[in-house]
Amino acid sequence: MNPIVNSQKLLIRTSDLTLGTKVNFDLVDQSGLILLKAGGVFTQDIRDELQRRGIETVTVFVRRKAEVHSETEVLMSSYDAEGIKRIEKGFEATEWAILNCIQGVQSGRPLDSNALRRQLDALYIETKQDASAVLAILSSRTNRLSNEQSQRLVERAVQFSWLSMVTAIHMQWSLSDTVAAGVAAALHDVSLVTHPEFFDEFYREQSKRIFNSDYQRHPIESVELLHGAIGLNEAILTAITQVHEQIDSSGFPKGLRSNSISPIGRLLNVTDAYLEIVIPLFREDGIIPADAIACLCWHASQGKFDRPVVQAFVQCLSMYPIGTPVELSNSNRAIVVRSASGSPMQPLVIDIATGESIDLQKTNLRIVSPASPIAGPKRRLAKNELTQVLWDNLQLVVP
């Protein structure tokens, strides 16, 4: 973080202080006497002394940091700076690898997926080191997706690939299966570059029957275009065709049910649905990530998605995905920086005003609601939309 330039005076309850916490602020009594210096550990002895003296609240001088101008900067400052640089470079390199694959498909030349695989191998290592930092990059990138159609497809393919891999790693999949999921996600939509008309709202409305018929075939078309590609095995090609298959048989193109869908296909179905709600392919009304998670959970309870995958997905991202601004019960605004696997409603957050890191499992504070984001998807999910199939482009919903 940046140098200290000023401080803010706050009053907090001593009951909100967790034993064993190394405080990053001075605790001061009402007379101005320092009870515990910044850097000290709040122990049972200190708590007993405060209780003996009848001190129920203390004054905290929270030091603010200089030059933190945005929530994205606050978010990124929570991780190792060198790691963030590597992950950013990895995102860009994965973009280039996917773009080269798409250009190969368009030109008809033999496709080699090995460059893409190398980038995903590197991502596997980064995710093992700090999955939260990877998810933070994805969150920041979601907020600045390109408006240009082909570039947006590439950027979304990276999101799909990386998010699928992070989930697979959380589920303790092997390296080969995790990378296979990443490759399938990255290449699933390659056939869409041959259908620019899909992105024309007038065409979709005027030719809905044709659009639905053609769009249903796009997973199969992608596999046809990838036929003979280097580095793509049968498991990857099968998963590409199964991204839109739902375990209750309501999906497409084959209406497969449950165990007829491969493990990779079931995982990709969840991550793709989440992304389609947050950053839709053909609409601009993206739903905020926390509400997208709520939507997935509800539909999983109704048998639409593979429950173990949704459970892992939520544990990975939390109910308030990393990068989500939230309102706390003390009315302060915070941003989610790490999930708590065993407690998805209580992630680690950073108070935007004070820069204080707060583990919600170790405090009486709680998240009241997602806060209005400064950038990225802004629309909240209306109550009557929770039961709608918002991720299926064959059932486009206009709010």
- Cα maximum dimension of the chain: 80
**pLDDT at residue 397 is higher than 50:** no
DSSP one-letter code for 257:
B
pLDDT at 19: 72
* pLDDT surpasses 80 at 374: no
Kindly report, residue by residue over 168-193, the tens digit of the pLDDT: 999 999 999 999 999 999 999 999 99
Chain segment 107-164, per-residue pLDDT in tens: 887 788 999 999 999 999 999 999 999 999 999 988 777 777 888 899 999 999 999 9
Residues comprising the chain, all counted: 399
Report the pLDDT value the prediction gives residue 67, as an integer from 0 to 100.
43
Token pair 């009315």: residue: 331
CB 121 within 8 A of CB 239: no
DSSP assigned state of 79:
S
Percentage of residues in the chain with pLDDT exceeding 90? 57
pLDDT tens column, 199-208: 888 888 888 8
pLDDT confidence of residue 123: 96
Task: Spell out the residues 6+ positions from residue 125 whose beta carbon is closer than 8 angstroms to its own.
Answer: none
pLDDT in tens, 76-98: 999 999 999 999 999 999 999 99
Answer for the pair 160, 186: CB distance below 8 angstroms, yes or no: yes
Residue pair 389/300 in contact by the 8 Å Cβ criterion: no
Looking at residue 398, what is its pLDDT? 35
Rounded distance, CA 149 to CA 282, Å?
Answer: 10
Question: What confidence score (pLDDT) does residue 237 get?
Answer: 96
DSSP state of 35: E
User: CA-based angle 290:296:301, to the nearest 5?
Assistant: 130
pLDDT band at 5 (very low <50, low <70, confident <90, very high): very low
* Percentage of residues in the chain having pLDDT higher than 70: 87
Distance separating alpha carbons of residues 68 and 77, to the nearest angstrom:
9
Q: How confident is the model at residue 23 (pLDDT cuts 50, 70, 90)?
A: low
Annotated domain spans of the chain: 4-67, 79-283
Under 8 Å CB-to-CB from 33, ≥6 apart: which residues?
none
The tens digit of pLDDT for each residue in 344-371 reads 999 999 999 888 999 999 999 999 999 8
Q: Per residue in 25-79, pLDDT tens?
A: 666 666 666 777 766 777 887 777 777 777 777 665 554 444 445 788 899 999 9
The CATH architecture to which 79-283 belongs is Orthogonal Bundle (1.10)
Q: What is the predicted pLDDT for the residue at 375?
A: 74
Angle (CA) 330 331 337, round 5°: 85
Helix ranges (DSSP H) in the chain: 44-52, 71-76, 81-107, 114-142, 149-170, 175-187, 201-206, 208-216, 218-225, 234-242, 263-278, 289-301, 307-317
Instruction: Please count the CA atoms within 13 angstroms of the CA of 4 that sit on its side-chain side.
Output: 10
CA distance 17 to 238: 52
- Enumerate residues 6+ apart whose C-beta is below 8 A from 362: 18, 21
Around Cβ 177, how many Cβ atoms within 10 Å? 15
CB-CB contact of 243 with 252 (8 Å): no
Residue 10's pLDDT is 59
pLDDT of residue 395: 61
More confident residue, 65 or 196: 196
pLDDT of residue 3: 34
Q: Which two tokens stand for residue 322?
A: 């990393």
pLDDT digits (tens, 9 = 90+) for 229-248: 888 999 999 999 999 999 99
**Burial label, 247 (beta-carbon count in 10 A; 0-12, 13-18, 19+):** buried
Higher pLDDT, 58 or 227: 227
Residue 396 clears pLDDT 70, i.e. is over it: no
